[in-house]
Amino acid sequence: MSILIKNVLVDGKEKNIYIEGNAIAAINDASSGEETVGEAEFVIDGKRKAAIPSLFNGHTHAAMTLLRGYADDMPLHEWLSTKIWPLEARLTEDDVYWGTKLACLEMIKSGTTFFNDMYWYFEGSARAVAESGIRAMLSAVFIDGFDEVKAKEQIKRNEALYETSKSLSQRIVFSLGPHAIYTVSKESLYWTKDFSEKHDIPVHIHVSETEAEVEECKKKYGMRPVEFLDEIGFLSPRVIACHCVHLSRTEMELLKRHDVKIVHDPASNMKLSSGTLPYEELKRAGLYGNIALGTDGCASNNNLDMFEEMKLASLVHKAFSGDPTSMPAHEAFELATCNAAHIFRLNAGVIEEGKLADIALLDLKKVNLVPNHNLTSNIVYAANGSCVDTLLCDGQIVMEGRKVKGEEEIKENVQEVAHELVNRASA
Ligand SMILES: [Zn+2]
């Protein structure tokens, strides 16, 4: 299919964007009268809209939309062990399918076309993503609880998933999801490292999220989490380390040396009082290009709006550092777009010829986008997800005029599915 977006604002100028297949084939000045390449099958009126690269959610647990508002205002470990894990033990693949459907819908409605996920019932998530039209890197939660039998089961399951993932939609990428060093044995981390290296598979892991995790690691292994991961040879450019709140200078240097990718989750870290990513220190260590932004799951955020996440990221660093120049708007925007595209190996994250047609059109008539002195500033500090009017992913329209196919059915079904899940857990 070919699509022409006419008279749309790109980097402050009115342009025509011509899309062929899944990529941006040409961008011309709208005023030059220059003809675009061929006749498009579909035309979108871009007047009073701005085209920006659609957003990347670097870390989430999509189906946790089902647990939105279920348990709040608790410390992380108590929250996980008394509320989240008991409920998750009752989950079915169908629950995960509907929870992920809702997550994809919410992300589409707020301009996100890629998310990096770790959750139970991989097949349910994969089905939902394939239907949604957006992209995801999916991993199955790998927790062995230091039990040899469980470890063997998880390894078998991941080997099988890797094989089946080859026949999934090309918008889905398989990754390995060892949950964290406090839930996965050293032996399983060795296996993850070898399997990842052998097949060039990304590894999605929670690292140094809380002070308690660091203290436990020091007690158990005699060193800090990143030092431990380095010691066992786990660190590599394929590792996507989420949170990274508590890092020593040595650990930052190790992350740099191994070209490890980092995801910052400001809302979740603030909500669980975990602290915040040492952003300026990581930048000084040369890791800026390796940092993306994520929402984390809906039980600890409690939404998937990356516009909100960009604003919170920028504000938290200004607040913590006492420096109002920390994480300026353009950096927060890059974390959610081009930096993330680099981390997740997608030829996207900017509006340029030859890039994937993953594009969000912002409605410049929205009251919070008026006036438009500086669009990046408006995007980060003034906008929210509802400013996105139209969304394209892989050259296909997934939302137009804020309408998404099947929206009402998804919301109705999730209402029921979530209600039944909570009933089942309390029975
Ligand atoms: Zn997480």
382 Cα: distance to centroid of ligand 1 (angstroms):
27
The per-residue pLDDT for range 117-145, each reduced to its tens digit, is 999 999 999 999 999 999 999 999 999 99
Tokens standing for 303?
Answer: 């939404």
Distance between start and end Cα atoms, the chain: 51
What pLDDT, on the 0 to 100 scale, is given for residue 150? 98
297 Cα: distance to centroid of ligand 1 (angstroms):
6
What pLDDT, on the 0 to 100 scale, is given for residue 37? 55
The per-residue pLDDT for range 60-73, each reduced to its tens digit, is 999 999 999 999 99
206 Cα: distance to centroid of ligand 1 (angstroms):
6
424 Cα: distance to centroid of ligand 1 (angstroms):
24
Q: Calculate ∠ Cα 103-105-106, nearest 5°.
A: 65
Which helix H or strand E contains 267, and what residues bound it? helix 266-271
Residue 34 has pLDDT above 70, yes or no: no
167 Cα: distance to centroid of ligand 1 (angstroms):
27
Rounded Cα–Cα distance for residues 343 and 255 (Å) = 14
Which helix H or strand E contains 308, and what residues bound it? helix 306-321
The per-residue pLDDT for range 240-297, each reduced to its tens digit, is 999 999 999 999 999 999 999 999 999 999 999 999 999 999 999 999 999 999 999 9
Kindly state the average pLDDT of the residues 292-316: 97
Tokens standing for 60?
Answer: 């989430």
The per-residue pLDDT for range 344-353, each reduced to its tens digit, is 999 999 999 9
Q: Buried b / exposed e across 75-96, counting CB within 10 Å, b at 16+?
A: ebeebbeebbeebbeebeeebb
What pLDDT, on the 0 to 100 scale, is given for residue 76? 82
36 Cα: distance to centroid of ligand 1 (angstroms):
44
The per-residue pLDDT for range 91-112, each reduced to its tens digit, is 999 999 999 999 999 999 999 9
Q: What does the mean pLDDT of the chain come to?
A: 96
What pLDDT, on the 0 to 100 scale, is given for residue 80? 87
DSSP string, 210-237: SHHHHHHHHHHHSS-HHHHHHHTT---T
What pLDDT, on the 0 to 100 scale, is given for residue 33? 62
333 Cα: distance to centroid of ligand 1 (angstroms):
21
Residue 36 has pLDDT above 80, yes or no: no
296 Cα: distance to centroid of ligand 1 (angstroms):
5
239 Cα: distance to centroid of ligand 1 (angstroms):
15
28 Cα: distance to centroid of ligand 1 (angstroms):
41
Work out the burial of residue 427: count CB atoms within 10 Å of its CB; fewer than 13 is exposed, 13-18 middle, 19 or more buried.
exposed
Neighbouring-strand partners of residue 12: none
210 Cα: distance to centroid of ligand 1 (angstroms):
12
240 Cα: distance to centroid of ligand 1 (angstroms):
12
- C-alpha distances (whole Å) from 314 to each of 170, 272, 306, 325 are 33, 18, 12, 9
Residue 308 has pLDDT above 90, yes or no: yes
Q: What DSSP character marks residue 247?
A: -
The per-residue pLDDT for range 318-365, each reduced to its tens digit, is 999 999 999 999 999 999 999 999 999 999 999 999 999 999 999 999
Q: Give yes or no for a contact between 17 and 351, defined as CB atoms under 8 angstroms apart.
A: yes
310 Cα: distance to centroid of ligand 1 (angstroms):
17
Rounded Cα–Cα distance for residues 363 and 139 (Å) = 34
Q: Buried b / exposed e across 205-234, counting CB within 10 Å, b at 16+?
A: bbbbbbeebbeebeeebebbbbbbbbeeeb
300 Cα: distance to centroid of ligand 1 (angstroms):
9
Neighbouring-strand partners of residue 327: none
295 Cα: distance to centroid of ligand 1 (angstroms):
9
Q: Buried b / exposed e across 17-46, counting CB within 10 Å, b at 16+?
A: bbbbebbbbbbbebeeeeebeeebeeebeb
400 Cα: distance to centroid of ligand 1 (angstroms):
31
The per-residue pLDDT for range 186-215, each reduced to its tens digit, is 999 999 999 999 999 999 999 999 999 999
Rounded Cα–Cα distance for residues 47 and 57 (Å) = 28
299 Cα: distance to centroid of ligand 1 (angstroms):
10
